[in-house]
Amino acid sequence: MHGLSAEATMNLLGLSVFVDSSAALVRQGRIVHAVEEERLNRIKHYEGLPWLALEECLTEGGLTIREMDALAVGWNPFRGWHVRMGQSLRSIFAMPAAFTCKVVRGQGYLHACRQILTLRQALEHRYGCDDLPCPIHYVPHHLAHAASAFFCSPYDSANVIVADGIGESATISFFTGSGNRLQEVGHLRFPHSLGHLYASVTGFLGFRMAYDEGKVMALAGFGRDTFRDLFAQVLKINPARGTVHLNTRLLDYHAAREGLFSQQWICATGLESRRPGEPLTPRHEDLACSLQVRLQEAVLSLLKARFPQHSERPLCAAGGLFLNSVLNGKISREYIPDFYIQPAAGDNGVSLGAALAVQAAFNPQSPRHVMNDAFLGKSYDSSDFVRVLGRRNLNINPARDVYV
């Protein structure tokens, strides 16, 4: 991050351009406005530049794009590409049938990176200006997640864990936070991803990957842990080193996105990949249960190994994995009760974290904004509702007391 002095750090616009894209406006450490693009364009899990969210942030902040002191994007396109490419090639040799899906996913990733790298030109074209003065900072994805958790928490110091599918190359990252500083103390790399493991089994169970994991979490509550031995093979846990190892020969995420599963996996489960709408059986419930149990064992093991003095510091968390409320309850009960989870734990919160990370880097004396609620979008009053209903020619009978 460069090109910005501490004195100039005033208005920061954070952007997330991958899935669940969003925008956030931060002014001197205070969150002025934050909103997901899908709330405005009505496209669930929208992926792309969040133009409507960006414009709402500017409008609510009373600013123009030229008045921004900096833009922060929650992804660094210069990081991690070699790790992704190398692992993809290894996966293709292990499962040649996965070649097409690897190419398709690679093209999607390159398109998103191109949008990030040409952001300045896109903004200048959209707003009719040829010399947008503000610098654009590419904040590493997991740092943006960590900032969204720690800098919005009520803690002056804390340990921070970030876990999702994958950042630029990291799948799980560990930080320590103190005041307005975040320091990474370790990470695990692709392909060893707890998020990808959960998503792959979600697809095998006939649900939408990176969409319906909450249904699998709920399904797990009906099952028994009968696939424990299988998941011990799929996901190796090393408590001494604080690592996990995902067996991608047995279960490959990108192949799963195309409905491809290894014969070894099919034989081990005794199941074919379930098609959407087909009946759920007790074996499906058991598979979900063993997945959830193994996930919880892995996260608790990682936390105890990476943060052994956990009783002395609270824990903050972000990343899509921490949308799993059953896992969060387990952490709170069995690891530490002082546990703050960023409400927008998925990629929708990355825009906020990117802006806060830049704010902390260039103005460490700025105040912190504790998020006691997630009401950061546009507010409405009765006149707004009357105006919308009136356009539909609907009769309006205002209530004298809405609490009666």
Instruction: Going residue by residue through the chain, which has 404 residues, state the pLDDT in tens, using 9 for 90 and above.
Output: 555 554 544 799 999 999 999 999 999 889 999 999 999 999 999 999 999 999 999 999 999 999 999 999 999 998 866 666 665 666 655 666 666 666 666 677 788 889 999 999 999 999 998 889 899 999 999 999 999 999 999 999 999 999 999 999 999 999 999 999 999 999 999 999 999 999 999 999 999 999 999 999 999 999 999 999 999 999 999 999 999 999 999 999 988 988 989 999 999 999 999 999 999 999 999 999 999 999 999 999 999 999 997 778 999 999 999 999 999 999 999 999 999 999 999 999 999 999 999 999 998 888 899 999 999 999 888 888 888 888 888 888 877 777 76
Q: Does domain 194-304 have CATH number 3.30.420.40?
A: yes
Parse the chain into domains and list their residue ranges: 1-152+343-396, 194-304
Q: What is the pLDDT of residue 394?
A: 87
**194: nearest Cα among 82, 327, 45:** 327
Q: Which two structure tokens, joined as six digits, stand for 301?
A: 């093991």
Two domains, one topology: 1-152+343-396 and 194-304: yes
Q: Residue 346, Cβ neighbours under 10 Å: how many?
A: 22
Whats the size of the chain, residue-wise? 404
Beta carbons of 160 and 336 less than 8 angstroms apart: no
Q: Which residues contact 132 (CB under 8 A, 6 or more apart)?
A: 65, 66, 120, 123, 124
**16: nearest Cα among 323, 348, 342, 345:** 348
Displacement of CA 132 from its chain's centroid (Å): 29
Q: Residue 260, Cβ neighbours under 10 Å: how many?
A: 16
Distance between CA atoms of residues 182 and 159, nearest Å:
9
Handedness of CA 21, 252, 219, 162 (dihedral sign): negative
Q: What is the pLDDT of residue 97?
A: 61
Displacement of CA 394 from its chain's centroid (Å): 40
Q: Which two structure tokens, joined as six digits, stand for 303?
A: 């936390």
Q: What is the pLDDT of residue 84?
A: 61
Domain formed by 1-152+343-396, architecture: 2-Layer Sandwich (3.30)
Burial class (CB in 10 A: 0-12, 13-18, 19+), 246: buried
Distance between CA atoms of residues 111 and 8, nearest Å:
32
Beta carbons of 318 and 348 less than 8 angstroms apart: no
Distance between CA atoms of residues 199 and 213, nearest Å:
7
Instruction: Give the three-class secondary structure for 47.
Output: strand
365 φ/ψ angles, rounded to the nearest 5 degrees: -90, 0
DSSP 247: -
Instruction: Give the three-class secondary structure for 136.
Output: strand
What is the C-alpha end-to-end distance of the chain, expressed in Å? Answer: 54
Q: What is the pLDDT of residue 87?
A: 57
Q: Residue 277, Cβ neighbours under 10 Å: how many?
A: 6
Q: What is the pLDDT of residue 258?
A: 84
Q: What is the pLDDT of residue 99?
A: 65
Q: What is the pLDDT of residue 93?
A: 59
Q: What is the pLDDT of residue 103?
A: 64
Distance between CA atoms of residues 337 and 128, nearest Å:
51
Extract the runs of DSSP E, i.e. beta strands, from 223-359: 235-238, 243-246, 315-318, 339-341
Q: Residue 211, Cβ neighbours under 10 Å: how many?
A: 14
